[in-house]
């Protein structure tokens, strides 16, 4: 049990409040009889939740902005006292302390939660300590005090999650667990198929069209092999396409080689044409062109001869480069021809035939892959349907047992408050992801809040739930006499219950006695707020300044 809380920031009339000691059963945070708000009742319950491993206290900006980061010290007693402290600045760490609250070592919040789980002897599967406790620490601002959806840990939680957590707490989830795991595996397999980047998901219409198209393509392939080349049957589509590419490459290489030889011989001929013109050739020229400037022509011819000599090195270099290129191409041709020989495919099979064969084969493979994926998906969907139905059947069987237990206990507690003639609340689960809760004939706010209290008290009595906390907001709409009976029910429980209430003088005498005996901290205005001041009044005073 939680034995004590100490915080230097808890102030009363200018002095530290010191050690706040708790009872083993009911613990009351009592407000003023006028019902004054903003005095720290909810904040104190959040501090209690902080000791139970929660983090909302440290995340409350109102507290941190006004007080600053601070340390909460607390002690639990199980087989012996265990002392701890937590800082709001580092909420993920719990300090292990000695009896003087000197820090000895640190634990992570996960390790601390496991420690509490073990110390409270909670041996339940697939549920954490915080998942158990958080649902039943209903404190203003935590968004889990919705009387119409009392099982929710937070407002947007799926009802299936809420119901599963309840089954786990009542130790009725074991038969469901493997079925749920199998269902999730199948769903993940289906999701994996639909999310594959290069997989096309088709519908039934396309599946049927694919079957028709496959028949057509197979006929084309049969024609190609029966009336074309039987050797194609031994070649897979990828290899056929590669052979076609090699054939095309071989043709290109041979054309390149011919073009290079042509260039080579052109340069060779130009290089070898170096004979100078003779005197007889010049005289022959004068016969036809008597007015020619023979000295000038000889000068030009001499220039051409000298130019050829200058270009000799360039001719030699270019011819050498071309021969090297021809040699490279010859090697490539040899490699391609070697590949073709190793394939052992007749050279006379045309490139077009190979490409057609490859194209048809690839289309067949692609369509078959689409249909295989479609079949796998349909099979998974059928298996999911069967698995889901098995899961629902067992879930509803287990939930029926839970409903009987809970509804019977709530009826007992409701009769204590109102008498046996009053209609009690019921939990009615329609399916694994849908439930109803309440009193059939009365949907008033006060009745709904009373129903939530009865559900929590029933769960506290029937399960390993170690404690619960109820804030003032839950009690506001409940009548005085029923509230007096509820306080009596709280007081009869051996497990720790933390409640915040005010206006207690309006309750019946017996309830007032219980409040007096079980109050662990009393808060009011004018310096007796939890932190010794009213933030509201402080803000007003600041505005006046």
CA pair distance 340, 251, nearest whole angstrom: 13
β-strands 81-87, 93-97: how paired?
Answer: antiparallel
Question: pLDDT value at position 76?
Answer: 98
- pLDDT reading at 275 higher than 60: no
pLDDT averaged over every residue in the chain? 86
Question: pLDDT value at position 252?
Answer: 78
Report helix, strand or coil for 21: strand
Q: What is the pLDDT of residues 340-369, one digit of tens each?
A: 666 655 555 566 666 777 778 788 888 888
Q: Would you give the DSSP letter of residue 127?
A: -
β-strands 434-438, 93-97: how paired?
Answer: unpaired
- Domain 1-120+467-545 bears CATH identifier 3.30.420.40: no
Helix axis angle, 509-518 relative to 480-491, nearest 10°? Answer: 40
Q: What is the pLDDT of residues 2-34, one digit of tens each?
A: 999 999 999 999 999 999 999 999 999 999 887
CA pair distance 164, 145, nearest whole angstrom: 19
CA pair distance 126, 190, nearest whole angstrom: 25
Question: pLDDT value at position 279?
Answer: 58
Question: pLDDT value at position 168?
Answer: 97
Kindly give, in sequence order, each residue whose CB lies less than 8 Å from that of residue 387, ignoring residues fewer than 6 positions away. 179, 182, 183, 186
313 is written with which tokens?
């090195």
Question: pLDDT value at position 263?
Answer: 78
Q: What percent of the chain has pLDDT over 90?
A: 59
CA pair distance 509, 485, nearest whole angstrom: 11
Q: Rounded to an integer, what is the distance from CA 333 to the centroid of its chain?
A: 56
Which residue(s) pair with 223 in the sheet? none
β-strands 81-87, 496-501: how paired?
Answer: unpaired
Q: Rounded to an integer, what is the distance from CA 497 to the centroid of its chain?
A: 36
Question: pLDDT value at position 299?
Answer: 67
* Residue extents of the structural domains in the chain: 1-120+467-545, 239-344
The answer to whether 83 touches 93, Cβ cutoff 8 Å, is: no
The answer to whether 343 touches 225, Cβ cutoff 8 Å, is: no
Question: pLDDT value at position 138?
Answer: 97
- pLDDT reading at 294 higher than 80: no
Q: What is the pLDDT of residues 189-244, one digit of tens each?
A: 988 887 775 567 778 898 888 888 888 887 877 777 665 555 555 555 556 656 66
Give all strands of the β-sheet with 519-522 in edge-to-edge order: 137-138, 467-470, 496-501, 26-30, 519-522
pTM over 0.75: no
Tell which residue, 174, 145, 136, 3, has the closest CA to residue 462.
136
The answer to whether 417 touches 450, Cβ cutoff 8 Å, is: yes
Q: What is the pLDDT of residues 475-510, one digit of tens each?
A: 999 999 999 999 999 999 999 999 999 998 999 999
CA pair distance 532, 523, nearest whole angstrom: 9
Helix or strand holding residue 367 (H, E): helix 351-418
Q: What is the pLDDT of residues 245-272, one digit of tens each?
A: 666 676 777 788 788 887 777 777 766 6
Report helix, strand or coil for 11: strand
Question: pLDDT value at position 544?
Answer: 34
């Amino acid at each position: 049990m939680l034995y004590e809380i100490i915080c230097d920031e808890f102030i009363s009339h200018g002095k530290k409040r010191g050690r706040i000691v708790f009872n083993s059963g009911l613990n009351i945070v009592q407000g003023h009889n006028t019902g004054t708000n903003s005095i720290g009742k909810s904040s104190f319950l959040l501090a209690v939740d902080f000791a139970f491993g929660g983090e909302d206290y440290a995340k409350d900006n109102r507290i941190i902005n006004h007080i600053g980061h601070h340390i909460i010290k607390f002690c639990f007693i199980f087989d012996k006292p265990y002392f701890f402290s937590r800082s709001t600045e580092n909420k993920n760490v719990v300090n292990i302390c000695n009896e003087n609250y000197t820090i000895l070592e640190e634990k992570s919040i996960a390790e601390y939660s496991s420690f509490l789980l073990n110390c409270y002897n909670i041996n339940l599967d697939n549920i954490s300590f915080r998942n158990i406790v958080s649902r039943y620490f209903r404190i203003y601002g935590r968004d889990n005090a919705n009387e119409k959806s009392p099982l929710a840990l937070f407002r947007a939680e799926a009802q299936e999650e809420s119901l599963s957590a309840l089954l786990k707490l009542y130790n009725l989830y074991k038969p469901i667990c493997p079925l749920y795991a199998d269902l999730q595996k199948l769903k993940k397999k289906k999701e994996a198929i639909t999310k594959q980047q290069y997989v096309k998901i088709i519908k039934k219409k396309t599946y049927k069209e694919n079957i028709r198209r496959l028949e057509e393509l197979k006929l084309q392939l049969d024609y190609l092999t029966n009336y074309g080349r039987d050797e194609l049957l031994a070649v897979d589509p990828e290899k056929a396409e590669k052979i076609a590419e090699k054939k095309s490459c071989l043709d290109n290489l041979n054309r390149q080689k011919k073009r290079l030889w042509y260039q080579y011989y052109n340069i060779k001929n130009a290089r070898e044409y170096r004979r100078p013109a003779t005197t007889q050739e010049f005289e022959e020229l004068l016969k036809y062109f008597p007015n020619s400037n023979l000295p000038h022509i000889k000068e030009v011819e001499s220039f051409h001869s000298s130019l050829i000599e200058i270009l000799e090195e360039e001719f030699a270099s270019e011819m050498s480069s071309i021969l090297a290129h021809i040699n490279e191409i010859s090697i490539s041709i040899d490699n391609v021809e070697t590949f073709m020989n190793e394939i052992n495919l007749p050279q006379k099979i045309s490139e077009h035939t190979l490409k057609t064969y490859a194209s048809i084969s690839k289309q067949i493979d692609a369509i078959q892959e689409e249909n295989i994926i479609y079949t796998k998906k349909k099979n998974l969907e059928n298996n999911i349907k069967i698995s889901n139905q098995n899961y629902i059947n067992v879930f509803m069987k287990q939930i029926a047992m839970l409903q009987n237990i809970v509804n019977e206990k709530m009826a007992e507690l409701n009769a204590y408050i109102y008498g046996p003639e009053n209609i009690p609340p019921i939990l009615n689960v329609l399916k694994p992801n849908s439930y109803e809760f309440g009193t059939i004939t009365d949907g008033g706010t006060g009745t709904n809040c009373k129903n939530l209290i009865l559900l929590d008290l029933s769960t506290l009595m029937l399960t390993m739930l170690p404690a619960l906390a109820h804030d003032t907001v839950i009690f506001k709409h409940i009548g005085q006499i029923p509230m007096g009976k509820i306080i009596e029910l709280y007081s009869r429980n051996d497990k720790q219950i933390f409640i915040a209430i005010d206006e207690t003088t309006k309750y019946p005498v017996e309830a007032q006695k219980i409040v007096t005996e079980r109050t662990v901290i009393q808060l009011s205005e004018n310096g007796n707020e939890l932190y010794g001041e009213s933030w509201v009044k402080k803000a007003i005073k600041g505005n006046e300044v």
